[in-house]
Amino acid sequence: MPRISSAKRYAQAVFELGLEKNELEPWQKGLEKISKLTSNEELISFLQNPRVPYETKKRVLEFELGEILPLTLNLALLLVHKGLLGMAPKILQQFNLLLDAYHGIERARIITAVPLEEQEREILSRRLEEMVQRKILIEGQVDPSLIGGFIARIGDKIIDASLRHQLEALKQRLMEASL
C-alpha cells in the first residue's frame, strides 16, 4: 500500500509541475518512457547497482530516455537513487488518472460475458456518460461467468447490470413474496 500512495504523491507533484508550466503532454510522454525502462531487467539491475557512479547512470538514462524534459530526467534519477524506478508504471497510471480528471474524462472498466462490438461500446459509453455527466472511456474485460449483461466500475461506483445479479434480485423478491 505505501507504494501506491507514494506513486500518487509523485504523480500529483509532477502533474502540478506540468500544469503550472503547461507541459502536461511532455510530462506524460516522459513518464511513459521511464515506465518502459522498467521492462528491461538488465538495465534496472545496472541502474540499481550502488557501485555504478551517478554520472554513468545519468548518461545511460539520458541515452535511454532520449529527448525529455530536464525535470523528467531528474525524476528518473531520483527514482533510481531511491531504488524506486520500478514504481514508474504506477506513477504513470496515477498521472494519467489526474490528466483524465483534468480533461473531464472518467475511465470505466466494463466486464462482459463476451467482447463488446464497437457499436455496443459507443452506446454503453453514451449511457454511462449520461449517468455520471462526464466523458467515459471504456476499458473492456471479459468474464464468461457473467452469462449476460455487464458490470461497470467507474471510479468508486459499481453498476451491476449482469444477468446473474438480475436473477439473484428476482430470486430474493420471490422469496420475500412467498413469506
Q: Please name which of 8, 166, 167 lies closest in space to residue 87, comparing C-alpha atoms.
A: 8
- pLDDT score for 4: 58
- pLDDT score for 177: 83
- pLDDT score for 1: 43
Output phi, psi for 151, to 5 deg. -125, 125
Last residue of a domain, one of 79, 100, 121: 100
Last residue of a domain, one of 100, 123, 141: 100
Query: What is the count of structural domains for the chain?
Result: 2
Output phi, psi for 66, to 5 deg. 70, -140
Whether 129 and 48 map to the same domain: the answer is no
CA distances from 39 to 4, 20, 62, 150, 165 (A): 19, 31, 17, 33, 39
Q: Which residues of the chain have pLDDT under 70?
A: 1-4, 179
Whether 142 and 70 map to the same domain: the answer is no
Q: Which helix (H) or strand (E) holds 175?
A: helix 163-177
- pLDDT score for 16: 96
